[in-house]
Amino acid sequence: MSNHQATIAELKARIEQMRRDRVAAGKPADPPKPFFPLPLAVVTAERMPDYFAFIVKYAQIIDETNVIPVGIDCAKFERHYGDFDLLAYTDCADSNKTSIWSRSIRGALYEIAKFNEGQEALSPELALQSLYKCIRLAKIGKPPTSDATIEQQSQMYRDDEALYQAEVAKWREHYAKIKEDE
């Protein structure tokens, strides 16, 4: 057996073990499939602040001052956690990259909120390690993007706020039902 075949066999065995572990935990064997429509995901991502730049700047401040900044209004992050949860399930060709991007940004914002509230009493070095991990993963991933076809569908949501809100509400309800199966 070649090294390539051995690696494939190892991966298959790991996947099967993960499936058994999920079943043992009372979950379906496979995690939920991506479901959030790409045109809606593009508009949702556009409506969010550039949190990646904020996270990088926050990490820079820690690195330069050796102090974890506090006094940040983290409520604005919390308003977007649900959006990041939906974006993690964007149904597109790059769904894995979009999921990695979304989960990494959300994770970094959550960490910053914990630092800010004093829930996480970390040294600046440990805080930086945590944030740098999220930053590296976010760079591997990517936010949802559109082509000409998707752009036309996305414009429909930009133009009709009520339609956008109704669709997002529908998918949030769907996510709430499957959240336990993640």
Q: How far is CA 6 from the centre of its chain?
A: 32
The rounded distance, in Å, linking the Cα atoms of 103 and 88 is 6
pTM equals 0.83
The rounded distance, in Å, linking the Cα atoms of 74 and 143 is 22
* pLDDT tens digits for range 113-123: 988 887 656 78
Does position 1 have pLDDT exceeding 60, yes or no? no
Three-class SS state of 75: helix
* pLDDT tens digits for range 10-63: 878 888 888 888 888 888 888 889 999 999 999 999 999 999 999 999 999 999
Query: What end-to-end distance do the CA atoms of the chain give, in Å?
Result: 35
